[in-house]
Chain A
Amino acid sequence: MSATEVANKTTAVSVQNVRKFYQRDSMQIKVLDGLNLEVPQGEFLALMGPSGSGKTTLLNLIAGIDRATSGRVVVAGTELGSLSEGQLAKWRSRNVGFIFQFYNLIPVLNALENVELPLLLSPLSKRERRERAMTALRIVGLADRSKHYPGQLSGGQEQRVAIARAVVTDPTVLVADEPTGDLDHQSAEEILDLMQTFNQEFGKTIVMVTHDPRAAARAHVQRHLDKGVLTN
């Protein structure tokens, strides 16, 4: 076990006394100021709070696409602060699945190719990649749309493809920033159903930022962030 794998295996995410400051002109903006958060393996956590409270900032730190000003962020047993840029990228490709508000599919790739994309960073053969991508598409119910391009899909379908892309590498943690923020009620329900499925049946730890109380109600735990501090 390497030195960076420090946390208890049953803790998926551990945020310890984390500060995140931004420097704007001469002003220092304290977005997160000594924040602590533990997310056990297999938990579905909803992160709520007013706009500008630092939800996305916290999620980005957990996902390893941003670095804390101070404090420790340990995810899937790895302390992210100790990783170099390249190591962090490799770590993300194995441990994190991203679900974005606006899906962020690659427009020139079809559904299957979009799902296959993160597998290009794995040692799998082309056939294995195709098979796994197809399986993921099947699980989200879009096997018959594998050759469709994002522009030919509805918003709800696009988000389902994005979820397939997020889970295809079998990551430890799924991070979702307002995954239903751009969807109608019906599609939002489908997406939340899927996320619940991945949490319950595949044991995925999920950290989801949302403004929608109905979405938050699907989670095990709801935490509220206000001015960079967790209030419950």
Chain B
Amino acid sequence: MALPLSYNVRNLRARWKVTLLAIFGIALVVAAFVTILSMARGFNIALSSTGSDNNAIVTQRGSMSELTSWIDIGNANLIAVDPRVARGADGKPLASCEVVVITTRPRKGTNIPTNITFRGVTPTAFNVRNNIKVVEGRTFTPGLFEVIVGKRIADRVSGVDIGSTINIQRKNWKVVGLFAAEDSSFESEIWGDYDAMAPAIGRNGGCESLTVRLTNPTVLASFDKDIRGNPQVQVQADSEKKYYENLAGSVATALIMLASFVAIVMGIGAVFGAMNTMYAIVSQRTREIGTLRALGFSRFSILFSFVMESVLLAIIGGVLGCLIALPMNGYTAATGTNAFSELAFAFKVTPGLLIIGLSFAVLMGFVGGLLPAFRAARMPITRALREA
């Protein structure tokens, strides 16, 4: 029979100062680890929920983003009637001709300006992108200088509350509503009416991007090939989802690399910390180990007992770390994208992440405890008994 767990619990309690120190160390690592993962998770959700597989975004050939793209209205209409473009209930093509401009607004609290995408859309846009929901106020009235604001922008940027007026391109736009878009990056944008906006920003007679709903995702390749092959229109089509992933791609990669790097460095540090603590604990108990072995406890039960003690300590640290990280859930942060506008996203502390954090703690405890426990169990009994 193995040593009872209560023996470990009492040893941890008896050396509570060392124990607390180790617990806090592990808690901080787990908290940071879970926080970084929740950030990456939130960022991924913002990216992956932007754009639909069913949609294609058509831009000028060779342009990296819609900001540097231009499609003449005639060409846009030509593309919209392609048979691979789906049609709405009214029989009109589901094609949204849009113009965008980047504007800067001061951030709440800091007043540091941040870039925001201001998008002019036609009513069709709400059919092409069916995840847009006005959650407060109402939508803008066609033809008027009215806008709706993505709810993440509303959280983070000052002067965009319903009823306030935003000056963009020397025109005053009235905020009439807030919209949600299932956590996607559209929630980081301001939308207004195409007909009011295009003349205001001097982009009449065309679109910077044309987003179309395809009859089904598999026709994208042939659709792209055909419109690329038409020398008159000079455009390209990308999956809308791919387009947004590419936009924020390098930022996402950097963030995930940073998260991995920080987690690995901290994890190694924590393992050494746990190991150091366990070495100290074990060497203080060398004679005790000798006694236990003399009484007939096996090497394995000693090894198991010390590893358990370390894992127990790590679990307490892990739970504490998760509790520290939990309030980060829903915290909104933002980062720039390749399109220079801000992409806001919420930290997502999911149950899955908490389990990962706890598993990480258990792993740290296990690895940290194994070597010292191994040393303790391997020592000859006679030598262990001679130690002070």
- Taking Cβ atoms with an 8 Å cutoff, the residues of A that contact B are 60, 63, 65-66, 85-86, 89-94, 98, 100, 104, 106-109, 117-118, 120-121, 165
Q: Is B287 an interface residue (CB 8 A)?
A: yes
Which residue of chain B is the closest to A56 with respect to CB atoms?
B382
Given known A66-B380, A66-B381, A100-B385, contact A92–B14 (CB-CB < 8 A): no
Q: Is B3 an interface residue (CB 8 A)?
A: yes
Which residue of chain B is the closest to A151 with respect to CB atoms?
B14
CA distance A98 to B291 in the complex (A): 9
Number of interchain pairs (Cβ within 8 Å): 60
A residues in contact with B7, CB < 8 Å: 106, 108-109
Which residue of chain B is the closest to A85 with respect to CB atoms?
B299
B residues in contact with A91, CB < 8 Å: 296
The answer to whether B294 and A65 have CB atoms under 8 Å apart is: yes
Which residue of chain B is the closest to A95 with respect to CB atoms?
B296
CA distance A181 to B4 in the complex (A): 32
Given known A108-B7, A108-B10, A121-B1, contact A60–B382 (CB-CB < 8 A): yes
A residues in contact with B381, CB < 8 Å: 65-66
Which residue of chain B is the closest to A166 with respect to CB atoms?
B295
B383 to chain A, nearest CB (A): 10
Q: How many B residues touch the partner, as a band? A: 20 to 34
B residues in contact with A60, CB < 8 Å: 382
The answer to whether B297 and A108 have CB atoms under 8 Å apart is: no
Contact with A along B278-298 (1 / 0, CB 8 A): 000000000110111111111
Pick from B14, B288, B296, B299: contact of A90, CB under 8 Å: B296
The answer to whether B382 and A89 have CB atoms under 8 Å apart is: no
State the 8 A-B residue pairs at the shortest beta-carbon distance, nearest first: A93-B296, A108-B10, A104-B291, A65-B381, A92-B296, A118-B295, A89-B296, A120-B1
Pick from B1, B294, B299, B382: contact of A92, CB under 8 Å: B294
The answer to whether A100 and B295 have CB atoms under 8 Å apart is: no
Within 8 A of A (CB), among B151-210: none
A residues in contact with B338, CB < 8 Å: none
CA distance A63 to B291 in the complex (A): 12
Within 8 A of A (CB), among B11-28: 11, 13-14
The answer to whether B298 and A86 have CB atoms under 8 Å apart is: yes
The answer to whether B4 and A63 have CB atoms under 8 Å apart is: no
B66 to chain A, nearest CB (A): 68
CA distance A54 to B3 in the complex (A): 33
- Looking at chain A's contact residues, the main secondary structure is helix
The answer to whether B295 and A98 have CB atoms under 8 Å apart is: yes
A183 to chain B, nearest CB (A): 18
B17 to chain A, nearest CB (A): 15
The answer to whether B295 and A65 have CB atoms under 8 Å apart is: no
CA distance A66 to B385 in the complex (A): 12
Which residue of chain B is the closest to A94 with respect to CB atoms?
B296
B255 to chain A, nearest CB (A): 46
Which residue of chain B is the closest to A90 with respect to CB atoms?
B296
The answer to whether B1 and A66 have CB atoms under 8 Å apart is: no
A residues in contact with B297, CB < 8 Å: 89, 121
B residues in contact with A120, CB < 8 Å: 1, 3-4
Within 8 A of A (CB), among B36-94: none
The answer to whether B291 and A100 have CB atoms under 8 Å apart is: yes
B residues in contact with A66, CB < 8 Å: 380-382
B284 to chain A, nearest CB (A): 10
CA distance A98 to B293 in the complex (A): 11
Apart from A93-B296, A120-B1, what are 16 other A-B pairs with CB-CB below 8 Å? A60-B382, A65-B381, A66-B380, A89-B297, A89-B299, A94-B296, A100-B291, A104-B291, A108-B7, A108-B14, A109-B7, A109-B10, A118-B295, A120-B3, A121-B296, A121-B297
B residues in contact with A85, CB < 8 Å: 299
B380 to chain A, nearest CB (A): 7
CA distance A100 to B384 in the complex (A): 13
B residues in contact with A65, CB < 8 Å: 293-294, 381-382, 385
The answer to whether A63 and B294 have CB atoms under 8 Å apart is: yes
A residues in contact with B380, CB < 8 Å: 66
B residues in contact with A86, CB < 8 Å: 298
A residues in contact with B287, CB < 8 Å: 104
The answer to whether A106 and B14 have CB atoms under 8 Å apart is: no
A residues in contact with B294, CB < 8 Å: 63, 65, 92, 98
Between A89, A91, A100, the greatest number of chain B beta carbons within 10 A of the residue's beta carbon is seen for A89
